[in-house]
Amino acid sequence: MIERYTRKAMGDLWSLENRFAAWLEVELAVCEAWTRLGRVPEADMAVIREKAGFDVARILEIEETTRHDVIAFLTAVEERVGPSARFIHLGCTSSDIVDTANALLLGRAGDLILADLDGLLTAIKDLAMRFKGQLMIGRTHGIHAEPLSFGMKMASFYAEFSRHRERFVAALTGVRVGKISGAVGGYAHLDPRVEAIAMDIMGLAVDPISTQIIQRDRHAAFFTALALIAGGVERLSTELRHLQRTEVLEAEEGFAKGQKGSSAMPHKKNPISAENLCGLSRLIRTNALASLENMPLWHERDISHSSVERVIMPDSTILADYTLARLTNILKNLKVNPDNMARNLMGSFGLFYSQRVLLALIEAGMDRQEAYVLVQRVAMACWEGRKSFPDAVRADPAITAKLAPAVLDALFDPTYYLAHEDLIYSRVFG
């Protein structure tokens, strides 16, 4: 991933040096396991512990000849360790090392993403609590519907990202699985106890059955969980973009001192961060499709998945880390405009009360279809004439014949729409 969208901790995790370090971590864990089982002499293990290391430049130099990165890595390590290196990679195949190292890397990347999710959830909850009871118009199809609170809008996103977190935790558990089972998964030149000991050292679970690789449904679940998170990021970002439209202006991204919105128009304050997140979210979802395509490999394995994973493992996790952190920052600095919410609430002349009037007429004994036609007639006249719907209802003889003035007054109370807000909050936040 390009530097522009890479935060340091996640970027460092996927550096080439750290990737080789994860390979070495696996190799050393396997050696430790063999030592505990008596296959590797303690004296040789002591040498391996002391001397095992690598130089990235040397590995790349050797790979120019071997055309095989794991062999180049092993050769570079062996040069440092000396004769005791004969016990490194004992009985293993390349995928034992690479797949298990990827489990380590994905697990650590996942921990960073979980921390990001927790930070985002905190920011969303803060907005939900601060703006509980803050009335605004709800919109369906982009058109005024009925009121809700801005807090309830945020609570909806909190509930969604809580689900994203649950799914991601499950997917993360699924990829924290390693294998040291040999060329086709049968432990022909290994002892299953080596695998168990090595995984225990590294804090990974043992894959109950593997071929030459860990099956890629685990990885597909991980990247699909990231894609769902990205979908949530784009949904919230799209909402923020709409709320910042000039005609709406109910919320705005923070605008820093010295920031510029346009090279041509000095007045511009654009929702650039939310737009950026919508675009990057599409990349994360695209990579999920690639992970699904990696599942059907030939027989016990081929390497068609390998090139894909060299790209999507770092890119998707780096982008998830970046998008979650940037969205959190947007929300922490979000400017919410209650005055504009109040203005927009009545921007459709109180037409949002139409269902209240409809239901009151039905309760008064009027046929539903008759009541619907009656209320719609008044509502459309108000829309065309830009007139107050409550006033028009009070002036319509067909309605007032059914509903007394006191009843009508009660219908036009906007706080009615918050009657169950506390219940909703208790469900979402406990």
Q: Which of 15, 262, 304, 307 is catalytic?
A: 262
| Residues facing 148 on adjacent strands | 136
Contact 391/400 with Cβ under 8 angstroms? Answer: no
Cβ neighbours of residue 258 under 8 Å, at least 6 residues apart? none
Q: What is the CA 39 to chain-centroid distance, rounded?
A: 45
Nearest to 273, CA basis, from 338, 337, 331, 340: 331
Token match 């803050």: residue?
134
> Are β-strands 177-178 and 135-140 bridged in parallel, bridged antiparallel, or unpaired?
unpaired
Distance CA 35, CA 424 (A): 58
Contact 289/307 with Cβ under 8 angstroms? Answer: no
Contact 32/87 with Cβ under 8 angstroms? Answer: no
Q: Would residue 68 show up in a list of annotated catalytic residues for this protein?
A: no
Q: What is the dihedral of CA 190, 196, 202, 207, to 10 degrees?
A: 90
Q: Which of 141, 263, 267, 426 is catalytic?
A: 141
Nearest to 101, CA basis, from 81, 78, 63, 73: 73
Q: At 71, is the secondary structure helix, strand, or coil?
A: helix
The CA-atom distances, in angstroms, between 210 and each of 30, 93, 214, 283 are: 17, 12, 5, 30
Q: Would residue 262 show up in a list of annotated catalytic residues for this protein?
A: yes
Segments in 333-413 forming alpha helices (H):
338-345, 354-363, 368-385, 389-395, 397-400, 405-411
> Are β-strands 205-206 and 251-252 bridged in parallel, bridged antiparallel, or unpaired?
unpaired
Distance CA 116, CA 364 (A): 53
**What are the φ and ψ backbone dihedral angles of 381, each rounded to 5 degrees?**
-65, -40
Segments in 214-303 forming alpha helices (H):
217-243, 272-293
Q: What's the 3-state SS for 182-219?
A: CCCCCCCCCCHHHHHHHHHHHCCEECCCCCCCCCCHHH
- Catalytic residue numbers, as ranges: 141, 262
